[in-house]
């Protein structure tokens, strides 16, 4: 009892001391100005004004000269003639008088957490944590190459979702990411783990068989943060024991996947090489076909009829033809890669000519990250105009991602995602392989013009 009696006066003293301390602190704030000054509350945030020699309107292909782009926070607010640019004393001005500005580019098919060396047997020794760190490096490289938005379609153990969140929180530098987490696939298919012997009983994180199981898997990956659902409708190239021409998921399974994904507000991207798999996936209602390298005329007609986007990933075939023998890829994959490299340009060119909707995508990881813009010149070689090729990575890709109100053009109200190059990319699309200025959300991440 005496202990309690002794403690009561001390508690009273402590309370009084805390109250006195608070009173002193408030007084000091008032006297010294620690509080936010009234003038600061009225002060407008600093704006950025980019004065550019040329700005490309990706809708029309016109190059507007001597323009000023006014940015407030992370959004574009005005585009006016440079002479009419509003001025105030706190604007940050970026002068790019000899540059051509374009909207930040969009790659709808990346694997930021993967590298070619991690896709074969050596990848079995790479942990998910290490892959996430690879992703942090590759994200910066991709952003500095001019790609301010990407769709990451396939990663182990949700490492791409962790990367997306780290970028959004400002912990890591990289593009905006729509991430899929593990890709859905059948047992033993392209999206399973087929390199280890039976004793390991190892299965890919997205494996699901049957209508009920695929419905559950869609809900599971959404639960853990997926922005988009990636599925494997056919076999693949860099996987063991499967055939790129062979269909994997049935039409009924894919319809169930699409129904759940769309009801829950997610789009569906379907890896599909073979003609039957392309047709089934399109008829099931997927939003995009990834690759489509073994399409036939009926598959192309189905894509056109349904308005399904094709994401062709063509530069990888050109790159791998040059580097396949030194790539470290197992022979079973080299054989399939040679077959794909021969068929893809022929079939995708037919899709271009048929008017199939095309969105830009690269499959970066099959070749080094940062070379994404190599995809453009392949499109032009197969019949696109340079402007049409640019539109696949701006207007079309933003539409596919469901973000056309945010990215894809330099317009008021859009995010201030802007890149700059020398020359006129509507005449020579390879200029986009040498991006010299990158802004994402009003923040400059690269500016070689100041050197």
Which tops the pLDDT comparison, 79 or 7? 79
pLDDT at 8 over 50: no
Least confident of 36-40, 118-122, 205-209: 36-40
CB of 310 within 8 A of CB of 348? yes
Predicted pLDDT at 24: 37
Closest CA to 241 of 314, 173, 296, 191: 191
Predicted pLDDT at 30: 37
Predicted pLDDT at 238: 87
Percent of the chain with pLDDT over 90: 77
Predicted pLDDT at 45: 57
pLDDT at 191 over 80: yes
The CA-atom distances, in angstroms, between 200 and each of 155, 196, 203, 354, 425 are 21, 7, 9, 47, 51
Task: Give pLDDT tens digits for 159-172.
Answer: 999 999 999 999 99
pLDDT at 257 over 70: yes
Which tops the pLDDT comparison, 132 or 324? 132
Q: How confident is the model at residue 86 (pLDDT cuts 50, 70, 90)?
A: confident
Task: Give pLDDT tens digits for 419-443.
Answer: 999 999 999 999 999 999 999 999 9
Q: What is the pTM of this model?
A: 0.89
Which tops the pLDDT comparison, 85 or 392? 392
Give the residue-averaged pLDDT of 275-297: 98
> Could you give the CA distance from residue 319 to residue 373 in angstroms, rounded to a whole number?
12
């Amino acid at each position: 009892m005496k202990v309690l009696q002794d403690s009561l006066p001390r508690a009273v003293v402590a309370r009084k001391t805390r109250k006195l301390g608070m009173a002193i602190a408030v007084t000091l704030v008032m006297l010294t100005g620690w509080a936010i000054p009234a003038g600061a509350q009225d002060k407008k945030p600093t704006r950025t004004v980019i004065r550019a020699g040329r700005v490309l309107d990706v809708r029309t292909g016109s190059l507007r000269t001597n323009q000023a782009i006014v940015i407030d926070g992370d959004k574009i607010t005005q585009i006016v003639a440079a002479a009419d640019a509003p001025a105030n004393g706190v604007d940050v001005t970026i002068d790019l008088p000899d540059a051509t500005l374009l909207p930040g580019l969009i790659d709808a098919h990346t694997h930021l957490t993967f590298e070619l060396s991690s896709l074969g047997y050596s990848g079995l020794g790479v942990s998910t944590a290490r892959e996430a760190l690879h992703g942090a490096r590759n994200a910066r490289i991709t952003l500095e190459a001019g790609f301010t938005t990407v769709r990451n379609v396939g990663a182990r153990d949700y490492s791409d979702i962790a990367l997306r969140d780290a970028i959004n929180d400002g912990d890591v530098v990289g593009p905006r990411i729509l991430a899929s987490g593990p890709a859905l696939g059948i047992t033993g298919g392209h999206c399973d783990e087929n390199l280890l012997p039976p004793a390991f009983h190892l299965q890919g994180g997205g494996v699901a068989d049957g209508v009920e199981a695929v419905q559950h898997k869609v809900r599971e990956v959404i639960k853990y943060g997926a922005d988009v659902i990636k599925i494997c409708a056919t076999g693949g190239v860099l996987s063991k024991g499967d055939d790129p021409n062979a269909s994997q998921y049935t039409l009924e399974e894919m319809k169930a996947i699409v129904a759940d994904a769309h009801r829950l507000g997610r789009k569906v991207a379907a890896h599909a090489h073979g003609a039957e798999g392309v047709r089934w996936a399109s008829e099931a209602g997927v939003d995009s076909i990834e690759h489509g390298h073994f399409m036939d005329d009926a598959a192309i007609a189905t894509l056109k009829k349904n308005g399904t986007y094709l994401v062709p990933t063509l530069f990888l075939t050109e790159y791998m033809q040059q580097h396949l023998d030194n790539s470290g890829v197992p022979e079973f994959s080299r054989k399939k890669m040679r077959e794909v490299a021969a068929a893809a340009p022929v079939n995708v060119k037919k899709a271009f000519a048929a008017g199939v909707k095309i969105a830009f995508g690269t499959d970066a990881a099959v070749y080094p990250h940062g070379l994404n813009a190599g995809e453009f010149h392949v499109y032009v070689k197969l019949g696109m105009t340079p402007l049409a090729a640019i539109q696949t990575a701006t207007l079309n890709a933003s539409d596919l991602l469901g973000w056309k109100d945010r990215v894809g053009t330099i317009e008021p109200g859009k995010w201030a995602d802007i890149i700059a190059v020398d020359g006129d990319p509507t005449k020579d699309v390879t200029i986009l392989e040498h991006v010299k200025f990158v802004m994402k959300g009003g923040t400059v991440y690269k500016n070689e013009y100041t050197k």
